[in-house]
Structure 1
Amino acid sequence: MNKNEVGTVILRVVLGLVFSAHGLSKFQEGITNAVGFFDSIGIPGFMAYVIALIELIGGIAIILGIGTRIVAVLFAVIMLGAIFTVKLSAGLLGNGQMAGYELELALLAMSIYLVFANKSVFSLDNKLFSSK
């Protein structure tokens, strides 16, 4: 295992932790809050459930290394949606009333990296579907 593989594993685990924590918090704090917010910005409320499930289940999957590329694409789409529908008007670092899109941009970059990265030696995908 080389340094790039170690870095990829660290990136994958951190990304999964952040997304799973955000998904879990949506359910713990009451998903109806997220539904109301989505409705208020013109996105159908049911999408709050979809996003929260992708974040929670996808976060766990990416930590384990299951379907990493697919989950990373979903995360990238979510981050693009967050940036362009909510955060862009606040700017990169925020406007004093709302946080900027710096976190979303970092998570987007991490997700895109994982879309193109090789399978990690420390992933279930590699263990289950290895051709060796």
Structure 2
Amino acid sequence: MNDQVTAASLGALILRLTLGVLSLAHGLVLKVMTFGLAGTAGYFESIGYPGGLAYLVAFAEIAAGLGLILGLLPRLAALASIPLLIGAALQHVGNGWVFSGTGGGWEFPVAWTVLLLACALIGPGAYALGARLPGKLARL
């Protein structure tokens, strides 16, 4: 294990933390605390998704957020989040580009998807707890 902190590893850390906070906020604050899981399930049903999917998405966003923030399996967390963001982008594609427009546009979920891919490719960066895991798990 290389404990040297470089500018690149700090940049990866900043990317990982930012994506982790966004994911945790989206899952915990928005879906659980603001709308509630039942409300989120109702919204999912109103846009044509199964209501039960809301529970899975909220759990995945919270788990991925924590994994990214802590640096535990961050590549896996980032990759597992990409399908969620593709689903969000597909829901917003008919609303145009600007996310602040009525119904929200698709640029935010698409940008988030690309940043998650970059995070998965770059790796966890500095101060990732997962670096202490054994063998191949330390690289996920």
Query: Does TM, normalized by the shorter one, top 0.5?
Result: yes
Q: Distance in 2 between matches of 1:94 and 1:111?
A: 18
User: What residue is the counterpart of 1:120 in the other structure?
Assistant: 125
What's the TM-score once normalised by structure 1's chain length?
0.89
- How many residues align? The count is 130
User: What residue is the counterpart of 1:10 in the other structure?
Assistant: 14
Moved over 2 A (4+): 118-121, 127-131
* Structure 1 counterpart of 2:112, from 107, 111, 126: 107
1:1-132 aligned within 5 A: 1-25=5-29, 26-29=31-34, 30-84=36-90, 86-94=91-99, 96-129=101-134
> What residue identity is the alignment partner of 1:90?
N
Once the two structures are superposed, what CA deviation does each residue of 1:20-53 show, in whole Å capped at 9, x if it has no partner?
A: 0111121112111110111112211111000001
Q: Distance in 2 between matches of 1:127 and 1:18?
A: 25
- The offset of 1:94, in angstroms, is 4.5
Contact 2:20 2:68 in 1 (8 A): yes
What's the TM-score once normalised by structure 2's chain length?
0.85
Q: In structure 2, list runs of 5 or more residues that go unmatched.
A: none
CA RMSD after TM alignment? 1.8
- The offset of 1:112, in angstroms, is 0.3
- The offset of 1:118, in angstroms, is 3.2
Contact 1:120 1:126 in 2 (8 A): no
Q: Distance in 2 between matches of 1:95 and 1:59?
A: 24
Q: In structure 1, list runs of 5 or more residues that go unmatched.
A: none
